[in-house]
Amino acid sequence: MANVVTKNLPNTITSLNLFSGCLAVSFGFQGDLRLAFIFILCSAVLDFFDGFAARLFHAYSVIGKELDSLADVISFGLAPGVILFSLFKEVAYPECMFNYAFLFPYLGFVIAIFSALRLAKFNVDENQTTSFIGLPTPANAIFIAGLANGGFAFWACPTWGLPLLILLVILSSFLLVSNISMFSLKMKSFSFYENRLPFIFLIISLALIVLFESLGFALSIVLYILFSIINNIVKK
């Protein structure tokens, strides 16, 4: 009985990740971006623990790997796309674009497409075990959701709202499928020296979240990208 439980625990956690992602999508469509953000964070936590449980109980499976990617497409691809969909609806469009304004919200779903591409690349690349190539989908989703809940509605600016949102879509899409090497937070030990980069990142990120709340999550992802780039330069 215990063996059956441990064998199926990772997939159960992944299924909860998917359910949480569905809730994020639902609240995103309703315009409740705070709850959408909360459920994206819940999905990110569950996404970490399904892999942790699989490693702990040696419960790897082909189905588990595929289920994990499918859940991530919803939680970290579609959910942030829906958030952007809602933000584009709040943009102050110039008068000359009123007739086309209804089209722009659908640009948010470009994030879902590039997230799916990112996950497909990850599934066929056996080298992404200790690091990642391109921005991981959970990080991208947290960045978008954190920015949307950060306390300043930049998208409502009559002059820069629309260009900034379009730029956000382009930048996020590029980072997802880029060849930039990103460090992993998976630690084989608790040695500070061996894991100094993840530890320093986590400490600073925690301070940013305490100081800036939702915006702090977005800032921590910016920090993650900068640390990854600096780490790549140092390694060379």
Could you tell me the residue ranges of all domains in the chain?
2-235
CA distance 14 to 36: 18
2-235: what CATH class?
mainly alpha
- Taking the model in full, what pTM does it have? 0.92
Coil/strand/helix, residue 103: helix
Q: Rg of the chain's alpha carbons, rounded to an integer?
A: 18
pLDDT of residue 162: 92
Q: Which pLDDT value is given to residue 39?
A: 98
Quote the pLDDT of residue 172: 97
3-state DSSP assignment of residue 128: coil
pLDDT of res. 7: 74
At which residue do the structure tokens 């061996």 appear?
A: 194
Q: Which residues of 5-16 are buried (b: 16+ CB within 10 A; e: fewer)?
A: eeebbbbebbeb
Q: Are 180 and 229 in contact (CB under 8 A)?
A: yes
Supply the pLDDT for residue 59: 64
Instruction: Mention every residue, 6+ apart, whose C-beta is less than 8 A from residue 184.
Output: 130, 131, 132, 198
pLDDT < 50 positions in the chain:
none
Q: With H, G, I as helix, E, B as strand and everything else as coil, classify residue 181.
A: strand
Q: Residue 188's pLDDT is what?
A: 64
pLDDT of residue 3: 66
